[in-house]
Chain A
Amino acid sequence: MLCDDCGKNNARLHYTQIVNGRKMDKHLCEKCARAYSASNYNMTLPNIMTGFLSNQVKKEAIRTEQCSECQLTYDSFRRDGKLGCEKCYQVFSDRLAPLLSNIHPHTVHKGKIPQNSTESLKRMRQLENLKEQLEKAISDEAFEEAAKLRDEIREIEKNGGGSK
C-alpha cells in the first residue's frame, strides 16, 4: 500500500482518527507520518485546552496586575488612561514602555529638572548644556569661546561629575 500523502513510498503507519463520530483512516510512510503528527500535535484536545487556559491566565494576570502602592489595576488604567500614583510608573514600566514610545518620539526627559534634584543629575545636565554650547561655538567658529567651554567641561569632568 502506498502512502496516502506522497503516494511514492510504502505506507508503514496506520492512523485512525474519529472526528465528530466519523471515522477516518490514514496510511502513511514514515516521512509523511512525522510531518503529519507534528502538524497535528497541537490540535489534541488537552493541548488546545491548556493553551487556551494559559492564554487566559496570562491575560487575566495582566488585567489584574496591581500597583503595590495605590492598588490601581492595569485594567483600570487601560480603561481610563490614568495612573494612580508615581509608583505605577515602576510597577507597570514594561507595559508602559511601548505606549510611551508611541506617544513621544524620545522617551528620556531632557527638560527642566527640580531644584532639589540629586547633585549628579544637576552636574550631568550642566555638562550636557555646556557641550551643546561648545558645539554651537565651534559651528559658529567662535574658537575662543569654544576653548573656554572646553576647559570648563574638563574641570567638571575632573571633579567626578557626569557619566558621559
Chain B
Amino acid sequence: MKWIANEGDERDVVVSSRVRLARNLKEWYFPSRMTPLQGSEVYEKIVNSANYGETNAFKMKDIPKIEQHMLVEKHVISPTLLMNQEISGFIMNKDETETIMINEEDHIRIQVLTAGLSLQQSYLKANQIDDFLESHLNYAFDEKLGFLTACPTNLGTGLRASVMLHLPALEMTKEINQLITMLNQFGLAVRGVYGEGTKALGSLYQLSNQSTLGDKEEGIVQKIEQLCRQIAAKEKDSRKKLLENNGVYFEDKIYRAYGLLKHTRTISAEEAVKLISLVKLGINLGLIENNTIELMDQLFVQIQPANIQYLSRQEMTSDERDVKRAQILRERIK
C-alpha cells in the first residue's frame, strides 16, 4: 500500500501508473511446460541474479493464502502468479513499488507501480532492473519477433503500460463511451478495475496498450501518458461543469455518500467502492474537507475482502467482513 502514499502527477484523476516487462530465459521451457524441478531451478537462478538494492524474495507457497490475495488486491502481484504456486514467487523492494514476478506466465515479469501519472519514470526504472537482470541472465530473444513470451499478445517489447484513472464526471455525462471508442482506435484497451466489462465500479478504469510488437518502448509509454493528460484535463473540466450546472443536486449526491460512509454499520465492498468514489470526487472539488484523495485511494484497496481479513488476522465470513468494513470506514474517514 506504500506506493499509494507517494505523491504523483495528475493525482486527482490518475490513481496509479504501472509498467510491466515480460521476459523469458533462453533454453528453458516457458513456465507452463516446466517440471516442478525445472521451475525451482529457474526460480533460484533469477533470485540469485536479482541482488540489486534492498529487496526480498518470497516463494509463493510459503505465503499464507490471505496474504497472497491481499497482495493481489494491492496490485503488487498478479492473480496469475497464484496459479503456479509450486514454482512461482516474487522479489519485492521495501516500498512495494518494484516487483519481479517469477514463473508467472513467463519466467520474469518486472513490474514498477507508482502513484499518479508517471509512466515514463516507471519505464526507466523497469528498464534499469531489466538491464541488471540481463547482465546475469540470457533472455529468449529473436531479432524479428523481439523478446519471446509464452503468449503472443506480449511478444516483442514484452511491455504493458497501464494507468488507473478515476473518471466519475465523464461517466456521469456519458462522455466516457465516446472516449473509450476513441481510445480503442488509438490501440488502447480500456476496462473497469473492479467489475467486468463496461460496468466499471467506482468509476475506476484501467487503460493499457494492446499491441506490444513493432513500436518502441518509449513511444508506447509516451503516447499513453499524453493521452492520459488530455483525459485528465477533460475529466476536470466536466467535474467543474457538473457542479456549476447541477449545483445542489450534485452536492447532495456527494454529501449523501459521505454521510453513509461515516455512519454505516455494515457495508458490501461493491457499495463501499461506489461511495468512496463519490467522496473522492467531493474532495477533488473542494466540497469535502479534512480528507485526502490519497486516503480514498488507499481505502479502495483496504476495504477489499483479503485486506480486511489480513488486517483482522483471521478468516471471516462475508457478513463479518461487511461489519468490519463499516468500522474501518467510520474510523478512517474524517
Contact = CB atoms under 8 A, between A and B. Distances in A.
B134 A110 contact: no
Interface in A95-141: 96, 99-100, 103-118, 121
A103 B217 contact: no
A111 B156 contact: yes
Given A82-B30, A100-B155, A89 B145 contact: yes
Interface string A75-100: 00000111111100100000010011
Given A109-B156, A112-B147, 4 more contacts: A82-B105, A85-B33, A100-B152, A111-B156
A83 B146 CA distance: 15
A32 interface: no
B127 A86 contact: no
B151 A83 contact: yes
B238 interface: no
B56 interface: no
B296 interface: no
Given A100-B213, A109-B214, A83 B139 contact: no
19 contacts: A70-B29, A70-B33, A82-B151, A83-B151, A84-B32, A86-B140, A103-B211, A103-B213, A104-B211, A105-B214, A108-B214, A109-B145, A109-B147, A110-B215, A110-B216, A111-B156, A111-B215, A112-B147, A114-B134
A149 interface: no
Interface string B205-219: 000001111111100
Nearest to A92: B152
Contacts of B28: 85
The 6 closest A-B pairs by CB, nearest first: A106-B214, A109-B146, A104-B213, A84-B33, A111-B157, A86-B140
Question: Which of B32, B151, B213 has most chain A Cβ within 10 Å?
Answer: B213
B62 interface: no
Q: Chain A at the B interface: mostly helix, strand, loop or mixed?
A: loop
Contacts, number: 103
A81 B32 CA distance: 11
Contacts of A89: 142, 145, 148
Contacts of A113: 141
A70 B31 CA distance: 11
Interface in B204-241: 210-217
Residue among B29, B105, B131, B215 facing the most chain A CB atoms (10 A cut-off): B29
Interface string B79-101: 00000000000000000000000
B150 interface: yes
B246 to A, nearest CB: 42
Contact of B131 (A70, A109, A110, A115): A115
Interface residues of A, number: 31
Interface of A: 69-70, 72, 80-86, 89, 96, 99-100, 103-118, 121
Interface in B117-141: 127, 130-131, 134-135, 138-141
Contacts of A116: 134, 138
Nearest to B213: A104
Contacts of A85: 28-30, 33
B153 A115 contact: no
B213 A106 contact: yes
B143 interface: yes
B17 interface: no
Interface string B19-39: 000001010111011000000
A114 B141 contact: yes
Nearest to B142: A89
B159 interface: yes
Nearest to A85: B29
Contact of A84 (B29, B139, B152, B210): B29
